[in-house]
Amino acid sequence: MSDDQQNDAYDYTSNTFYHDYMGNGGNSAFPFFGIKNPSIYNRPSPAQNLAGSSSTTSSYDPSYLSFTDCLQGSAADYNFLSGTFDMSCDSFPVCPVDNSSSDKNIIATSLGDAAAGGTTNSAENPRTPNSSVSFSSNETGIEEESSKSNTADLRTKGSEDGDDKSKKSSKPRKKGEKKPKEQRFAFMTKSEIDHLEDGYRWRKYGQKAVKNSPFPRNYYRCTSQKCTVKKRVERSFQDPSIVITTYEGQHNHHCPATLRGNAAAMLLSPNSSFLSSNSSSSSLPNFSQEFLTQMLPTASSNYPNNPPSYYQNFSPQQQQFHFPHDYNYFQDMNNSSFMHKPEP
């Protein structure tokens, strides 16, 4: 933990927090999950957390959004415009992380789709077997209550137009019928590169200026046939060094860049026993090995000879990663050798 991070502060009354996320002056290309995170309103305070934590490290700042948080979808209601979470949002996926819990389920909370009883065009837009998410009860509630509150930028037109190019004559929707929402997975990355390589091939299909932001939002679609996964990439107007990436949907194919095995890739792969250990399926995007290797700092053993390009461009200090407090979740994996605990 750096001094800079120690100097960061979180105001629990105003739910405001921010500063040099990485504590390194902002020169890291590593994805991280340290974002302004009011979702911790349902967390213990830092003091409480540290007091009750069995962790031997004090590097965890609970105001950083954790990897698990992201996987659970709590980043999905992040308001890109304001740089805050929409806490008034009824659909806010309240999935508090309980460090003392033995629950190792890090399945992302979906913000829609299957919870609504399936998409309206499931036949033409088949989901992967793994995408039939097992929803918790609150997720069902999320969908039921979400109609009035989701921010516009997080709305999705759903997958009904997937392969249908005649979108402009889209089918009329029954009154009261909600467009199904795709699963979303958002994270923030401190990077000078807008479009981070994640192993998949993407085609840009749109770019829009974002209100109150000098940075446009870019829209990408997976180039794989019949894969409806989309992602949006934009820079935070509050901190231009931060790239906000939002994945929507789930790939129905393997990552073209990684078919070889790797613990990190296996972690989030569709067939991961880790993901399915406490849930029947995954709603996570399945990232490539390289991407995960970058996200999960470890481990030179992962790439002893061929470190990812991002690694090659930065010094060890610059490669510092803010470890999520849920790090122990990963440690508990049988194949946890891919992860090394950072020195306190």
Partner DNA sequence: CGTCTTTGACCTGCGC
Partner DNA sequence: GCGCAGGTCAAAGACG
In this structure, are strands 184-190 and 242-248 parallel, antiparallel, or unpaired?
Answer: antiparallel
The dihedral formed by the CA atoms of 227, 167, 124 and 256, expressed in degrees to the nearest 10: -10
Shortest distance in whole angstroms from residue 61 CB to DNA: 29
Least distance from DNA to the Cβ atom of residue 71, Å:
21
165 binds DNA (CB under 7 A): yes
Cβ closest to DNA, residue 63 vs residue 183: 183
Q: Is residue 87 close enough to count as binding DNA by CB under 7 A? A: no
Can residue 8 be called a binding residue for DNA (CB under 7 A)? no
Stretch that binds DNA, among 23-31, 133-141, 164-172, 306-314 (CB under 7 A): 164-172
Query: Which of residues 4 and 164 has its CB atom nearest to DNA in the complex?
Result: 164
Residue 226 is a binding residue for DNA (CB under 7 A)? no
Give the integer Cα–Cα distance in Å for 318 and 313.
9
170 or 306: CB nearest DNA: 170
Nearest by Cα to 133 from 84, 167, 181: 181
Residue 183 sits at the vertex; the CA angle it makes with 150 and 288, to the nearest 5 degrees, is 135
Residues found in the chain: 344
- Binding part of the chain for DNA, among 85-93, 162-170, 273-281, 297-305 by CB under 7 A, reads 162-170
CB-based contacts of 312, cutoff 8 Å, min separation 6: none
- Positions 230 through 259 that interact with DNA (CB under 7 A): 230, 232
How many Å apart are CA 60 and CA 48, to the nearest integer?
Answer: 12
Shortest distance, position 167 Cβ to DNA, whole Å:
4
Is residue 27 packed enough to be buried (19+ CB in 10 Å), middle (13-18) or exposed (0-12)? middle
Q: How far is the CB of 41 from DNA (least distance, A)?
A: 22
User: Is 204 or 226 the residue whose CB approaches DNA more closely?
Assistant: 204
Which of 47, 148, 312, 334 lies at the binding interface for DNA (CB under 7 A)?
148
Beta strands in 3-104 (DSSP E): 10-11, 16-17, 31-32, 78-79, 84-85
Contact flag: residue 147 with DNA (CB under 7 A): yes
Q: Does 170 bind DNA (CB under 7 A)?
A: yes
- Measured over all CA atoms, what is the biggest interatomic distance in the chain, rounded to whole angstroms? 59
If one asks whether residue 116 binds DNA (CB under 7 A), the answer comes out as: no
Q: Mark 202-221 with x for binding to DNA (rule: CB under 7 A) and - for no binding.
A: xxxxxxxxxx-----x-xxx
Residue 1 burial (C-beta neighbours within 10 Å; 0-12, 13-18, 19+): middle
Residue (148 or 260) nearer to DNA, CB: 148
The values of phi and psi at residue 137, to 5°, are -65, -35
Contacting residues toward DNA, per CB under 7 A? 81, 147-149, 152-157, 161, 164-168, 170, 173, 179, 201-211, 217, 219-221, 223, 230, 232
